[in-house]
Amino acid sequence: MKRKDTVKLISADEMEFVIDKDAAMVSQTIRNMLTSPGGFAETELGEVTFPEISAVILEKICQYFYWALQYSRGKETEFHIEPELTLELMMAANYLHT
Amino acid sequence: MSAQKKKAFQIEAFKHRVVVDPKYAEKTWKILEHAIHEIYNHNASGLSFEELYRNAYNMVLHKFGEKLYSGLVTTMTSHLKEISNSIEAAQGGLFLDELNRKWAEHNKALQMIRDILMYMDRTFIPNTHKTPVHELGLNLWRDVIIHSHAIQSRLQAILLENVRRERSGEVIDRGLMRSITKMLMDLGPSVYQDDFEKHFLEVSADFYRLESQEFIESCDCGEYLKKAERRLNEEIERVSHYLDTRSEVKITNVVETEMIESHIHRLVQMENSGLINMIVDEKYEDLGRMYCLFRRVSNGLVLIRDVMTSYIRDTGKQLLTDPERLKDPVDFVQHLLDLKDKYDKIITSAFRNDKTFQNALNSSFEYFINLNSRSPEFISLFVDDKLRKGLRGVTEEDVELLLDKVMMLFRYLQEKDVFEKYYKQHLAKRLLSGKSVSDDAERSLIVKLKTECGYQFTSKLEGMFTDMKTSQDTMQGFHASHGSDIGDGPMLSVQVLTTGSWPTQPITTCNLPAEILGICEKFRNYYLGTHTGRRLSWQTNMGTADLKATFGKGQKHELNVSTYQMCVLMLFNDADRLSYKEIEQVTEIPTSDLKRCLQSLACVKGKNVLRKEPMSKDIVDTDTFLFNDKYTSKFFKVKIGTVAAQRESEPENQETRQRVEEDRKPQIEAAIVRIMKARRVLDHNNIVAEVTKQLQSRFLPNPVVIKKRIESLIEREFLERDKGDRKLYRYLA
């Protein structure tokens, strides 16, 4: 099931999100992580743990990744954010450099 | 619901803040320091990027960026010091290797560190204006290692040593050199330049100075140039392989200066192998090489051009003043053409058709062709020779080529009107004796002259052609109408020439024999019948006749003779023996012409249809002539004494010159009047300049002559001198 070009993002409460590498690369941080020349654990295993990001936020972030890809390909839709998530989402975004 | 959520927020924020205490910063830093150590020791695989990133993130977020940064600096510096020690320890050849390896490792580590500390790079550093991580890494490397005393000098020495070894022909590790230079370039352009390039250029200059000194003592010019070229190419290759491209220009400059520029004069003037010798021996490859190499140096080409020009002028001058050469004009002109061809070839094949060289060649040729005042005559003779016989059997293209070349020489002439005069004379003789090889070639040349000099130049020449054509038609008409009348009588063929077009000839007296007179009269009547109001006069000095003669033993021959000679020979139909005086009396041919014609009839071996008593070379008044019964010849048709165009003897030459001068006077006057009519008032110098400009396509007027003409015009009241200023002239209507 695990194809070559996917990564696994694991949230604080141990929820696993499997997304395409392209989507993950929207985040600069993740991109650096995966392309760093050093032999970090992440590159080897193809999975990244985020002990400070909850599952809800992480899920929203994955959705954002896909939406960003769509947007860049021309499909200009809206991305709806629930106001409760806003603060945490922004902090996570800052962290992930997205 | 929102209250609950808010509470959730609060709790989380609180959780974060609890962690913020000095220890936290210290702890976090320790983790990061440990990580950096591991990275440098190639142990990074066990680490979690995310964890490190998060730690760095938190530190910066909680305002511990400063600590992080300074910690980073210290750690890196200590590591680099270690590395520096290990590099210094490396022996001899391994030095570069070690340096290279450590540099590669450092780069890798640096990148990893940067990735981890990305957040700091993004936010903290711009805010505090510190150097970004990557740059920091490079700077530290530069300061600690490259500029460490021991390493710096050693590095330089080894690099330059390698280059020297390669120049002597050894093979060095180019890849290694490349990495090292790349490293220097990455560290900053000034590092590359100061640490390496500057010294490289200096050392190279010294090296080439020595080498060029050596070479120039031992090799000749061609060899030296080959070597210089080789070195130049080597350097370019070297740059492309392991030096910065911007060094290319600098190092080629060095080579050019040392090897070429400093020895340029010596090379060109080298005994037995310098520029002149190359030209003489037609060493196109060497010349081409010289051209390419000298082109890189300022004034290189100018030097070649100057030397070549002076050489051409000297050769030309020599050729023109060599009395041997001048004896045969056709040969002389052929030599000129060959010379031109040779230099053209040099310029096209070796000098890449450089326009400036072409111009220099043209001006040199112009200079020396006009040194000899007889050049126009010679060129005309050359053309004459070609059109008489030289072009027989030559293809049309080759004819065109040859005529074009002749036109080229013609352009160089300054005294084109002299050429015109001679050409007219020669053309007249060619047309009248029917000796022209190809009518097309003649016409083509006229067209070329017309394009070059304008209609006026060739109008008379064209008139001559028209006359020939008209005469043909007239003859046809004559024969058609009187054909039956002639019967057994002599066959007449007449060319009617318009006086203005043909070169003037003095009219001479000559009594034609009775047989001829009859038919001449018939023709005259016929012609005047169709063209009233014209005057015809027989030009007996230009005609030819074919006689059928039977000699002693019954041999029949056909003799081709001039009109004068025909008159003389016809006399012998009635008498076997005649004295000079009698001949003169009856024929009334002028003395000098008569003497010449008798000479060719009696004194020339193989053509002596007359016998002279006494048997001497010259004709005197007391000679007697007898019909030579015993005349024999291998051929049935015998040609006697046709006058071909010859090089004029001195007095004839003077005469023609004088006539040309005379002709020039009215032309100058016409030019002066034209100019004055337009300008009304003009001073002396300007008039001279204007006249020269107007007439330069035909000839170069002499200022003294112009002055004389002006004075003559003043006398004839075309111009007047200004009362106030003696140098000013005014036009009188």
Residue B14 pLDDT level (bands cut at 50, 70, 90): very low
Here the CATH number for the domain that contains residue A31 is: 3.30.710.10
Subunit contact A41:B111, Cβ cutoff 8 A: no
- Chain B nearest-CA residue for A91: B61
Specify the DSSP class assigned to residue B263. Answer: G
- Cis peptide leading into residue B490 (ω within 30°): no
The residues near B719 (Cβ < 8 Å, ≥ 6 apart) are B672, B676, B710, B713, B729, B730, B731, B732
Specify the DSSP class assigned to residue B145. Answer: I
Subunit contact A52:B54, Cβ cutoff 8 A: yes
Tell me how many residue pairs between chain A and chain B have CB atoms under 8 A apart.
62
> What DSSP string runs through B284-299?
HHHHHHHHHHHHHSTT
| C-alpha distance from A1 to closest chain B C-alpha (Å) | 25
What is the reported pLDDT for B3? Answer: 45
Whether residue B602 has pLDDT greater than 80: no
Whether residue B272 has pLDDT greater than 70: no
User: Which tens digits make up the pLDDT trace of B193-216?
Assistant: 787 888 888 888 888 888 888 888
User: Which tens digits make up the pLDDT trace of B714-731?
Assistant: 888 888 888 777 788 888
| C-alpha distance from A67 to closest chain B C-alpha (Å) | 24
What is the reported pLDDT for B216? Answer: 80
User: Which tens digits make up the pLDDT trace of B87-122?
Assistant: 777 777 778 888 888 888 888 888 888 877 877 887
A-chain CB neighbours of B112 within 8 Å are: 36-38, 40
Measured at the CA of B677, the angle between CA B675 and CA B681, to 5 degrees, comes to 80
Residue B74 pLDDT level (bands cut at 50, 70, 90): confident
Residue B5 pLDDT level (bands cut at 50, 70, 90): very low
Rounded to whole angstroms, how far apart are CA atoms B409 and B330? 13
Which among A98, B644, B71, B513 is positioned nearest to A90, based on CA atoms? A98
Instruction: Count CA atoms within 13 Å of residue B256 on its CB side.
Output: 17
Angle between helices B300-321 and B284-296 (to 10 degrees): 140
> What tokens were used for B72?
């980073």
Whether residue B4 has pLDDT greater than 70: no
| C-alpha distance from B40 to closest chain A C-alpha (Å) | 10
B-chain CB neighbours of A47 within 8 Å are: none
What is the reported pLDDT for B1? Answer: 43
Residues of chain B contacting A, Cβ within 8 Å = 2, 5, 9, 12, 39, 44-50, 53-54, 57, 108-109, 111-112, 115, 118-119, 122
What is the reported pLDDT for A42? Answer: 66
Which among B117, B121, B136, B108 is positioned nearest to B39, based on CA atoms? B108
| C-alpha distance from B70 to closest chain A C-alpha (Å) | 22
> What tokens were used for B154?
């050693």
B-chain CB neighbours of A48 within 8 Å are: 49-50
What is the reported pLDDT for B9? Answer: 47
Subunit contact B49:A97, Cβ cutoff 8 A: no
Residue A41 pLDDT level (bands cut at 50, 70, 90): low
Minimum-distance CB partner of B112 among A36, A42, A52: A36
| C-alpha distance from B252 to closest chain A C-alpha (Å) | 40
Optimal mutation site among A13, A32, A40, interface B, most CBs of chain B within 10 A:
A40
Whether residue B438 has pLDDT greater than 50: yes
Whether residue B678 has pLDDT greater than 80: yes
Q: Does A95 touch chain B (CB under 8 A)?
A: yes
Instruction: Count CA atoms within 13 Å of residue B605 on its CB side.
Output: 0
Q: Does A91 touch chain B (CB under 8 A)?
A: no
Residue B288 pLDDT level (bands cut at 50, 70, 90): confident
Subunit contact B54:A44, Cβ cutoff 8 A: no
- Chain A nearest-CA residue for B41: A38
CA-CA distances (angstroms) from residue B554 to B154, B415, B550, B630? 114, 56, 6, 10
Beta bridge partners of B729: B682, B721
Residue B46 pLDDT level (bands cut at 50, 70, 90): low
The residues near B54 (Cβ < 8 Å, ≥ 6 apart) are A51, A52, A95
B-chain CB neighbours of A50 within 8 Å are: 50
Optimal mutation site among B2, B7, B49, B110, interface A, most CBs of chain A within 10 A:
B49
Residue A40 pLDDT level (bands cut at 50, 70, 90): low
Angle between helices B455-486 and B514-530 (to 10 degrees): 120
More confident residue, B201 or B6: B201
- Chain B nearest-CA residue for A41: B48
> What tokens were used for B712?
């003559």
Write out the H or E segment, with its range, that includes residue B74. helix B65-89
Q: Does A81 touch chain B (CB under 8 A)?
A: no
Whether residue B295 has pLDDT greater than 70: yes
Q: Does A47 touch chain B (CB under 8 A)?
A: no
Whether residue B12 has pLDDT greater than 70: no
Minimum-distance CB partner of B44 among A40, A50, A97: A40
Minimum-distance CB partner of B118 among A29, A37, A42: A29
- Chain B nearest-CA residue for A10: B50
Cβ density class B618-642: b for 16+ within 10 Å, e for less? ebeeebebebbeebeeeeeebebbe
Q: Does A97 touch chain B (CB under 8 A)?
A: yes
Beta bridge partners of B562: B544
Subunit contact B49:A51, Cβ cutoff 8 A: no
What is the reported pLDDT for A4? Answer: 67
User: Which tens digits make up the pLDDT trace of B505-526?
Assistant: 666 777 777 778 888 888 888 8
Average pLDDT over residues B447-462: 83
Task: Decide: B448 and B407 in contact? Cβ < 8 Å.
Answer: yes
User: Which tens digits make up the pLDDT trace of B333-363?
Assistant: 888 888 888 888 888 888 888 888 888 888 8
What is the reported pLDDT for B644? Answer: 41
Chain A window 14-43: which residues touch B at a Cβ cutoff of 8 Å?
A: 28-29, 32-33, 36-43
Beta bridge partners of B560: B546, B639
Write out the H or E segment, with its range, that includes residue B358. helix B355-369
Q: Does A49 touch chain B (CB under 8 A)?
A: yes
Domain count for chain A = 1
What is the reported pLDDT for A63? Answer: 86
For B187-299, where are the alpha helices, taking DSSP H only?
A: 189-191, 198-218, 221-242, 246-255, 264-268, 275-281, 284-296
Average pLDDT over residues B529-547: 79
Which of A40-54, B419-433, B611-625 holds the top average pLDDT? B419-433
Domains (ranges, CATH) in chain B? 22-130 (1.20.1310.10), 146-268 (1.20.1310.10), 544-639 (3.30.230.130), 650-731 (1.10.10.10)
Subunit contact A28:B39, Cβ cutoff 8 A: no
Subunit contact B2:A84, Cβ cutoff 8 A: yes
Which among B656, B640, B478 is positioned nearest to B558, based on CA atoms? B640
Subunit contact A33:B5, Cβ cutoff 8 A: no
Residue recorded with tokens 């063929």: B493
Minimum-distance CB partner of B5 among A43, A84, A97: A84
Subunit contact B49:A36, Cβ cutoff 8 A: yes
Which of B2-11, B71-80, B82-91, B384-393 holds the top average pLDDT? B71-80
Optimal mutation site among B4, B55, B57, B115, interface A, most CBs of chain A within 10 A:
B115
Task: Decide: B381 and B647 in contact? Cβ < 8 Å.
Answer: yes
> What DSSP string runs through B431-453?
HHTT--S-HHHHHHHHHHHHHHH
Rounded to whole angstroms, how far apart are CA atoms B675 and B694? 9
- Chain B nearest-CA residue for A33: B49
The interface predicted TM-score (ipTM) is: 0.79
More confident residue, B494 or B684: B684
A-chain CB neighbours of B109 within 8 Å are: 38
Subunit contact A41:B48, Cβ cutoff 8 A: yes
Whether residue B477 has pLDDT greater than 60: yes
Minimum-distance CB partner of A48 among B46, B50, B118: B50
The residues near B702 (Cβ < 8 Å, ≥ 6 apart) are none
User: Which tens digits make up the pLDDT trace of B623-654?
Assistant: 888 887 777 777 788 777 644 444 556 677 77
Which among B138, B89, B92 is positioned nearest to B111, based on CA atoms? B138
For B572-701, where are the alpha helices, taking DSSP H only?
A: 580-587, 591-602, 650-679, 684-695
Which has the minimum average pLDDT: A58-67, B7-16, B216-225, B474-483? B7-16
A-chain CB neighbours of B137 within 8 Å are: none
B-chain CB neighbours of A38 within 8 Å are: 39, 44-45, 47, 49, 108-109, 111-112, 115
Minimum-distance CB partner of A39 among B2, B44, B118: B44
Give me the percent of chain B exceeding a pLDDT of 70: 92
Average pLDDT over residues B454-463: 82
Q: What domain range includes position A92?
A: 2-96
- Indicate the residue type of B195: D
What is the reported pLDDT for B649? Answer: 64
Specify the DSSP class assigned to residue B387. Answer: I
Which among B492, B491, B447 is positioned nearest to B465, based on CA atoms? B447
To the nearest whole number, what is the mean pLDDT of chain B?
Answer: 79
What is the reported pLDDT for B16? Answer: 47
Q: Give Cα B305 to chain centroid, integer Å.
A: 11
- Cis peptide leading into residue B513 (ω within 30°): no
Average pLDDT over residues A4-15: 82
Task: Decide: B28 and B64 in contact? Cβ < 8 Å.
Answer: yes
What is the reported pLDDT for B643? Answer: 41
